[in-house]
């Protein structure tokens, strides 16, 4: 039976790609049907990016062939892939902020009349492209003024405007709120219903199970298998990806709380309303809430990244006056930001420079303004081994590492000195199961060493799997202090949405505030 008869719009057959002798893809076959969402799943380094870059023409395979509509095309280029209906929306946005939506949609194939840009025709075409996916935006709007979610939709509109029958979406919800992601899901399923074949890449298993028709799992450059998404369990997917079961993802962390190391009292600010909580040595305390609840702002305010009107932050009994990152670190608090690219890493620097930055700033690795690079390399090698950062190349650009390894480089900054308080803000967003496991083990070790750990997360499973206690946050308030038998998904979700029978202990705010 031909591809056309089977409804297959794309087939990659026995694709192999080598980098410096290492196989990034090893005889991988993959097919996509019209009108289906086919999820591509795997840990960082599994080969997902290489496969979609091969299909989109960014990378040329060493062996194997690609067929579109049953026609063998061999190796593609970006131009030939687009000409054959392949459109890719990568995680890194490719829009030009200074241009309008219409100009971005037509970028590279502008409409002209008598040698001049035909702006009226471009506006009409852009409006049509936006309408196709149900987006109500003025095509004359500058892209720089759009939200991340709106930019994502403009990227999709641009790709589909070029008559793409194959749409590749790479981590499309990584930076979106729950509401924005829900709207994107509606658009994606609408496109599937129009007959478009969609390759969907995400580390979020809940998204995969909700959206996908089929799932193909890669591991270490090899195809582990393709299965129907209907009824598939997290355990099955995790085991296919990593070879380990889900129950082994979260380490067993003994609850041995000691003295209070972090005490926050009466924080008020633009988004915070009388926030108080405490964290003891040897425990992980979760700050849980929906996107926009204020949970991240609490951590950022404690570290001096958000303004405060009133309130105090104490670290080991000493008040942190006028919080700032420098003062916070001086008092013993370190904060790992949610956006590692915008606030955590120096993206133009190497792995070594990113890891040793705190030591250089503190003057412990430089003399007379000259950095001791030999010492920096030695310390980096020590950290690389401790956190299993791959590849173990200190001089490599930080952008040359996977998301999980970039996150480990961010965590490595705490190796410069011993911090009694660690605040993790969405530490596993956009990283794979294996890297998550490494991050969780690191948090476990901090607990065993007597540190106080704050975990800020929108992932309910993560917050329940890792926390000894949980403070639920809603509308800038701590609305519940959950512990012991109260630590379950039902109580957390009730607190998120303000149910009157949410479990609120005597250690939390008044019941009339939490309702």
pLDDT for the residue 503: 38
Q: Which residue has the tokens 């005889």?
A: 27
pLDDT for the residue 515: 29
How far apart (Å, rounded) are the C-alpha atoms in residues 64 and 472?
Answer: 51
3-244 maps to CATH 3.40.50.300: yes
CATH number of 260-514: 3.40.50.300
Q: Are 320 and 328 in contact (CB under 8 A)?
A: yes
**Residue-range domain boundaries for the chain:** 3-244, 260-514
Global pTM? 0.61
pLDDT for the residue 266: 94
pLDDT for the residue 218: 93
The rounded radius of gyration (Å) of the Cα atoms in the chain is 25
Using DSSP's 3-state secondary structure scheme, residue 314 falls into strand
pLDDT for the residue 367: 56
Residues of the chain predicted below pLDDT 70: 1-2, 4-5, 44, 175, 244-248, 358-373, 375-376, 416-417, 497-515
Residue-wise over 372-398: b if at least 16 C-beta within 10 A, else e?
A: bbeebeebbeebbeebebeeeebeeeb
pLDDT for the residue 366: 52
pLDDT for the residue 501: 39
pLDDT for the residue 376: 64
Q: Are 86 and 159 in contact (CB under 8 A)?
A: no
Question: For residue 211, how far is the Cα from the chain centroid?
Answer: 18
How far apart (Å, rounded) are the C-alpha atoms in residues 212 and 235?
Answer: 17
Per DSSP (E only), the strands in 396-502 are 421-425, 452-457, 469-474, 477-483
How far apart (Å, rounded) are the C-alpha atoms in residues 326 and 390?
Answer: 30
């Amino acid at each position: 039976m031909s591809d056309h008869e089977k409804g297959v719009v794309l087939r990659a057959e026995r694709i192999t790609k080598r980098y410096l002798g290492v196989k990034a893809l090893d005889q991988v076959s993959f097919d996509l049907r019209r009108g289906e969402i086919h999820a591509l799943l795997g840990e960082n380094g599994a080969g997902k990016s290489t496969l979609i870059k091969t299909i989109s023409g960014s990378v040329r395979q060493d062996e194997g062939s690609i067929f579109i509509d049953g026609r063998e095309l061999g190796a593609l280029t970006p131009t030939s892939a687009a000409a054959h209906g392949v459109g890719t929306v990568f995680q890194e946005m490719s829009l030009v902020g200074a241009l309008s939506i219409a100009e971005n949609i037509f970028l590279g194939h502008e409409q002209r009349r008598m040698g001049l840009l035909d702006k009226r025709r471009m506006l009409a075409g852009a409006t049509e492209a936006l309408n196709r996916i149900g987006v109500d935006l003025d095509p004359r709007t500058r892209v720089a003024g759009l939200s991340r979610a709106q930019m994502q939709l403009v990227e999709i509109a641009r790709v589909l405007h070029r008559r793409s029958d194959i749409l590749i979406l790479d981590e499309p919800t990584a930076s979106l709120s729950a509401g924005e992601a829900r709207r994107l899901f509606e658009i994606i399923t609408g496109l599937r219903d129009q007959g478009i074949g969609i390759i969907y890449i995400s580390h979020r298993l809940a998204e995969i199970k909700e959206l996908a028709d089929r799932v193909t799992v890669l591991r270490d450059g090899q195809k582990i298998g393709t299965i129907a998404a209907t009824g598939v369990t997290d355990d099955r997917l995790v085991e296919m990806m990593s070879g380990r079961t889900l129950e082994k993802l979260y380490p067993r962390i003994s609850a041995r709380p000691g003295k209070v190391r972090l005490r926050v009292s009466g924080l008020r600010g633009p988004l915070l309303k009388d926030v108080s909580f405490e964290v003891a040595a040897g425990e992980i305390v979760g700050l849980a809430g929906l996107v926009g609840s204020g949970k991240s702002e609490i951590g950022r305010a404690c570290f001096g990244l958000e303004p405060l009107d009133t309130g105090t932050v104490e670290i080991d009994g000493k008040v942190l006056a006028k919080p700032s990152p420098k003062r916070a670190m001086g008092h013993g608090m370190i904060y790992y930001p949610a956006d590692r690219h915008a606030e955590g890493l120096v993206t133009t620097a190497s792995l070594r420079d990113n890891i040793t930055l705190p030591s250089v700033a503190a003057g412990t690795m430089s003399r007379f303004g000259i950095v001791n690079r030999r010492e920096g390399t030695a310390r980096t090698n020590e950290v690389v081994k401790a956190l299993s950062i791959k590849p173990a190349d200190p001089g490599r650009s930080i952008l040359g590492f996977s998301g999980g390894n970039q996150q480990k480089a961010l965590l490595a900054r705490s190796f410069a000195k011993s911090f009694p308080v660690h605040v993790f803000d969405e530490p596993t967003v956009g990283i794979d199961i294996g890297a998550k496991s490494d991050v969780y083990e690191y948090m476990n070790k901090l607990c065993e060493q007597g540190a106080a750990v704050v975990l800020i997360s929108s992932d309910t499973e993560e917050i329940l799997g890792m926390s000894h206690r949980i403070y639920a946050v809603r509308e800038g308030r701590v609305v519940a202090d959950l512990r012991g038998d109260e630590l379950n998904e039902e109580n957390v979700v009730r607190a998120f949405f303000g149910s009157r029978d949410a479990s609120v202990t005597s250690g939390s705010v008044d019941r009339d505030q939490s309702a």
